[in-house]
Amino acid sequence: MEHGRAIVLGIDVVLGLTVWIDLLRTPRPALFQVDRRLPERVGLSRRFEREVLVEAPAAAGLAAELDERFPAPFEVLTVTRDGVHEAPAADRPGAPDTVRFDSEGKARFVRAYRGNLRGLFSFESLRLRVTGPFGLWQRQARFEGGQELAVEPALLNLRQTLALAASDRWHDLGVRILRRRGGEREFESLREYVPGDDVRRVDWKAFARRGKPIVRQYQVERGQELILLVDLGRRMRATASGDDDAKRRGWTKLDWALDAAFQLAAVALAKGDRVGMAAFARGLVTFVAPARGSKQLARISSEHFRLLPREVDADPALALRELAVRHQRRATILILSDVADPLSVSDQRRALAATSRRHRIVFCALDDPGVRSWAHGEGEAQGRSGAALRAAALELEEDRRRALRELARSKVRVVDALPAEAAAPLLAAWLEERQASHG
Q: Where are the domains of the chain?
A: 28-152, 158-185+220-436
Q: Quick check: 127 pLDDT over 90?
A: yes
| Contacting residues for 68 by C-beta, under 8 A, at least 6 apart | 50, 52, 97, 111, 123, 125, 126, 127
Nearest to residue 128, comparing CAs of 109, 104, 154, 150?
A: 109
Neighbours of 364 (CB within 10 A): 27
Question: Under a CB-based contact definition with an 8 Å cutoff, are residues 198 and 171 in contact?
Answer: no
Query: How does residue 37 score in pLDDT terms, banded at 50, 70 and 90?
Result: very high
The order of strands in the sheet holding 119-123 is 41-43, 147-152, 119-123
Burial class (CB in 10 A: 0-12, 13-18, 19+), 430: buried
Least confident range of 48-52, 94-98, 217-221, 360-364: 217-221
- The answer to whether domain 28-152 and domain 158-185+220-436 are alike in fold is no
What superfamily would CATH give domain 28-152? Answer: Immunoglobulins (2.60.40.10)
pLDDT digits 0-9 by tens, 161-185: 777 666 655 454 443 333 333 334 5
User: What's 158-185+220-436's CATH class?
Assistant: alpha beta
Q: Model's pTM, two decimal places?
A: 0.79
Q: Please, what sign has the CA dihedral across residues 400, 402, 403, 404?
A: positive
One-letter amino acid for residue 239 of the chain: T
DSSP conformational letter for 202: B
- 3 state SS of 165: helix
One-letter amino acid for residue 98 of the chain: T
| Contacting residues for 18 by C-beta, under 8 A, at least 6 apart | 134, 136
pLDDT for residue 248: 52
CA distances from 166 to 161, 169, 170, 195, 198 (A): 9, 8, 8, 11, 12
Question: Under a CB-based contact definition with an 8 Å cutoff, are residues 122 and 88 in contact?
Answer: no
